[in-house]
Amino acid sequence: MAGLECFERVEGDVNKDFDVVIVGGGPAALAAAVYTCRALLKTVILEKKFLGGQLVGTELIENYPGFPEVISGVDLTQRMEAQAKRFGVEIRYEEVLKLHVENGLKVVTTDTDAYGSHVVILAAGAEPKKLGVPGEDEFYGRGVSYCATCDGAFFRDKDVVVVGGGDSAVTEGIFLTKYAKSVQIIHRRDEFRATKIYLDEAFSNQKIKAIFNTVIESIYGQEKVDGVVTQNILTKEKKDIPCQGVFIFIGSVPNTDFLGNLLCTDAGCHIETNIHMETAVEGLYAVGDIRKNSYRQIATAIGEGVTAAIAAEHKLAELKALGKAAK
């Protein structure tokens, strides 16, 4: 199989060994690689840190089809990696610094190399905006979460707090009432910015309590979260709120800085695509959390990765037939 061959660096400044270049190494990227490699397209994944993305920070996953028993994010990532490698993907741990287009060729520049391909799949993901308070990083995956859909079921009959004031914070707070004993939504302003229909539902739920003009100063605990320390920004009064879960929804930051103004006019934008996951640039696809209107779920990310891979295969065949790409 072509995908299992070892690839040698071609002459010149741009490495054109690969038919498909995938930026990022999360579930969407690994799913795309399985499909492109099975289509006998030489594929490389460029990942700056570790495979799995935010998935590896999820301790237990119980909503991914095919696993009636729970599975950890690390284990699921390792299975996805093994499957992609079986079909021949090459994984290189390099940081992508820039992407630009030269006569239809997408050139991806990393900290060690430059790759040229007519089809590139962007799966760089997004990072949740953080509060930046003590305990947030320490208890990530042990009470601190950025996804109620992913982790809410693990807080049955527990007291949790939600941080944020937009639609995400309010709707995720409503979702958490399915499991939690109480949900306190903490917002730094004097009113929510969420849609009225969501607010009506939230305020009619006896499990939900809103706390305004308040910020979290720290998150504390032993093995897991035991509570938060808050401060009222008007009175400066501090309070200790015991809880077992802290769900933070203050936005996310897509990893799009390396694109410059290619697809984004503002730094940190989510990328718009069509139904084939293709962006405004022909042959350039975006999937997963980097994409606008993504549902931020493992299953949907994988579906987007597969969609982009199939579309990329068809696009490459079309370009070859037109003589725009080497056969």
The pLDDT of residue 2 is 40
Structure tokens at 197: 């229909």
Q: In the β-sheet with 182-186, what is the strand arrangement from edge to edge?
A: 144-145, 245-248, 159-163, 182-186, 208-211
| Catalytic residue positions, numbered | 147, 150-151
pLDDT of residue 278: 97
Same domain, 225 and 284: no
Q: Is residue 146 within 8 Å of residue 134, measured between CB atoms?
A: no
Q: Verify that 299 and 151 share a domain, yes or no.
A: no
Q: Count H helices, E strands: the chain?
A: 6, 18
Report the distance separating Cα 48 and Cα 92, nearest Å: 8
Of 128, 139, 131, the closest CA to residue 214 belongs to: 131
Spans of the chain below 50 pLDDT: 1-11
Q: Transcribe 214-259 into DSSP letters.
A: EEEEEEEESSSEEEEEEEETTT--EEEEE-SEEEE-S-EEES-GGG
CATH number at 223 reads 3.50.50.60
Give the pLDDT of residue 202: 95
Q: CB–CB of 7/108 below 8 Å?
A: no
Same domain membership, residue 313 and residue 258? yes
Match 């940081």 to its residue by tokens.
Answer: 95
Q: Nearest Cα to 297, choosing from 6, 64, 15, 121? A: 64
| Last-in-domain residue among 225, 248, 271 | 248
Same domain, 165 and 228: yes
Tell me whether residue 93 is in a domain: yes
Q: What range defines the domain where residue 174 resides?
A: 144-248
Question: Does residue 68 sit in helix, strand or coil?
Answer: coil
On whether both 240 and 157 belong to a single domain, the answer is yes
Q: What is the pLDDT of residue 11?
A: 38
Task: Name the residue with tokens 């820039």.
Answer: 98
Strand partners for 114: 109
Out of 248, 263, 280, pick the residue that ends a domain: 248
Q: What is the DSSP letter of 155?
A: G
212 domain residue, yes or no? yes
- Does a structural domain hold residue 136? no
CA distance 253 to 272: 15
Residues 14 and 96 in one domain: yes
What per-residue confidence (pLDDT) applies to 267? 60
Q: Is residue 265 domain-shared with residue 220, that is, in the same domain? A: no
- Domain total in the chain: 2
In this structure, are residues 320 and 327 in contact, taking their beta carbons and an 8 Å threshold? yes
Nearest to 311 by CA among 1, 35, 16: 35
Q: Are 104 and 201 found together in one domain?
A: no
Do 56 and 202 fall into the same domain?
no
Same domain, yes or no: 121 and 6? yes
255 vs 269: CA distance, rounded Å = 8
Query: Would you say 83 and 38 are in contact if contact means Cβ atoms under 8 Å apart?
Result: no
- Same domain? For 61 and 203 the reply is no
d(CA 201, CA 183): 13
* pLDDT for 158: 98
172-192 pLDDT per residue, tens: 999 999 999 999 999 999 999
Would you say residue 135 lies in a domain? no
pTM across the whole model: 0.75
Is residue 226 included in any domain, yes or no? yes
Q: Residue 43 burial by CB count (10 A; 0-12/13-18/19+): exposed, middle or buried?
A: buried
Helix 73-86 vs helix 27-38: angle between axes, to the nearest 10 degrees? 20
